[in-house]
Structure 1
Amino acid sequence: MPRVESKNCYGCAACSLICPVNAIQMVENAEKFFVIQIDESKCINCGKCLQVCPLKFNHKNQVLTSYAGYSTDGSILKQSSSGGMFGSFAKYLFNSNTNVKVFAVKNDLGKVVYEICTDYRDLEQFYKSKYCQAFLNKAFYERLISAISNEAVCLIIGTPCVLSGIKNTLLAQKAKLTSCIFVDLVCHGVMSQSVYHTHLEECKKRWGGVVTQHYFRYKRAVTKDCPEGSHWNLYKVNNEIIIKKSDDDYYMQTYFADLAMRETCYCCQFTGTNRIGDITIGDFNNAHILCSQFDGLRSVSLVLVNTDKGQRFIDECNNNTVNLQPVDIKLLQKFNTPLTAPIKRPFQRSLFYTFYNSLGLSRTVSLLNYKYYLRKIIVAFGGKKLLLKIKALLGRSYIDIE
């Protein structure tokens, strides 16, 4: 009987929950990604694991309408990575219903896990991008199934591969999904939590103190050299705030150079415009340049509506907690690669973990991320105009323009 395989695992943990004899566990592989491990002595070859695996079964929806917009709540907009869609959707539900459960990812300084939020005042703990894979376990699924059984309105947000596993599991458990709103993310890829832990340890040594607070994509005040919406990382060490541009942050260099993604990210079947969620959200960083209605606004999100349920929800939220304007999906695809195809696997990926295990993160990135240093040299000698000319000659795959 065919069954799931660890080499193609997305790490959603759906099969470990559905297994009737508890033969499947989630463990870390050599690269510290969460994968399945099957206990051969327990497995009865029933094939139920395949019924929930995102690789085998995924319930995709075609995009119905596409928008771009931002939160009408300034506080949510400030704390979010881009346009504040997640916080605004949750705010609308908490304001409109008494029994609401939000299932999303929380970053507790290196411990990135799927958690449940039952109070709007706790929602800010779930804001901002995480840039590494979150851990899922049976307890999460059990709490989700319990919430649905108690007729809670559930907002479930995550990467499309994980969301597919969650949805498959709920359907296999015959859960009623009428009160569930699934929101998938336009995902660039995920790195392992081990790389993030190493980064925090290296920061501790570099700055002489434990990192007690860390925000990816922190929004600074608007200045000529620091526009709102630019990529900045905020660290708090010894009660001192340290702000670094993402370009100069070793962890973010690793991420944006695609050096250490999960192998399944390079052949992801969840890219494109066939989506898992009722709604899809992501960044639209060039909105202030491309769309006149967003002139001067740098914190803008894209929103794709993929089901009738999603459309009804968006219609209720629009002009309430969010301000959304229709935008051609082809324009959104042009500036958001995962809406077209998976990221490309760089040749350095084959070397990354070998170097990383012996040299650590910062030295490994310094050796392998040649594009970053090549850009620095070109800009230093000829400015961005020269960089643009070289990019036009060689193509974006050789020198990425930030």
Structure 2
Amino acid sequence: MERAAVGIVVVLVVVLAVFGALHWYVWRRLVRDTTVAGSVGRRIGTAILVAGPLLLVAAGMTERAGIPFLVVRFIAWPGYLWGAVFVYLLLALLVGEVVRIPLLRQRDTTATTVAPRTVEPVPGHGATALPKPDSADAPRIPRRLFVSRAVGGAAAVAAVTTVGYGTYGVLSGPQVKRLTVPLASLPRGAHGFRIAVVSDIHLGPILGRGFAERVVATINDTQPDLIAIVGDMVDGSVADLRPAVAPLAGLRARHGAYFVTGNHEYFSGAEQWIEHVQELGIHLLANTRTELPGFDLAGVNDIQGERTGQGPDFVKALGDRDLSRTAVLLAHQPVLIEDAVAHGVDLQLSGHTHGGQLWPGNYLAGLVNPTVAGLERYGDTQLYVTRGAGAWGPPVRVGAPSDITVIELASKQA
């Protein structure tokens, strides 16, 4: 235990050191290199570069610290938005080095350059003259300062614009995607069955009741046969988020709405959420399945549940089923695809990845997930991963637009 504790401390120190070093780099390029020592601009820039990371760390800590929800919301907005802005400031400044370094290698123009003076005769005094500066050759900004301001300004505009557009996309609500998935064993009678797949809504200190209402309206407008909520519905306790999730009771589908846990439910009090979801009229699939016309619908708990003995149990959910029937599985994380293949699942529906949420996060997500977004085949099993309806942390998406996917099952016998 002591060795494990020491290891955690070492990792934490390294992470904080890297975090601090990256912020120092951004401060140096964006503030120190573009302002004069002691100026108002430098003081303001420094204050922002200190307050931003502090609010970001505070936002991550307060959600699980038992702090009043109103305070959490007050900190979360600026804290998480700073996280997104910082990512794109850093990327833009690194790209800016490609321009900055070659330009600064050229000979600098000093700030002490003084314009040459011309001489004009004084009326009535012959050759007596007074110096007059030439306005065309006024003192110029040093090359280093000019280049730093140009690169820093461009980086700031690019970062703020990117984050602003990404925030607008999230708050506007998810778009509907439609996809047809042929299944070899699906009977003709189930041909055209439509499942609205929604994941990663992440109702919490930032996305609240208004966002939930938009999600419900979008789903209901598609008039699905069944609604599948594939985990990470919330970020917070039932006590704090009861008003935010209330609109989910309005979900409508011919065969109802079904829910499986995601990892964030286990961060937010899974037992209470499992009860409350059912109070909202949503069916729970916790390592269980139900028979629907033409196929079996199964659901397994998220991997995070293993910490409390409530992890995924494929034997319980699928072990004794009729293998001649088509099986559709709800599983929050795509990494469970290997178990799905082993148990003869025809189609697994997952979320979790957010499609990377913030580019280039999709490349990082691809390192730990077999599929980041979209439909892929693994043996006889197809896996569909939705990018999710909401956002975790900053309410921002870049290169990974949010979606609700309507999957239409197709029988090859039709």
Q: TM-score, normalized by length of structure 2? A: 0.24
**TM-score where L is the length of structure 1:** 0.25
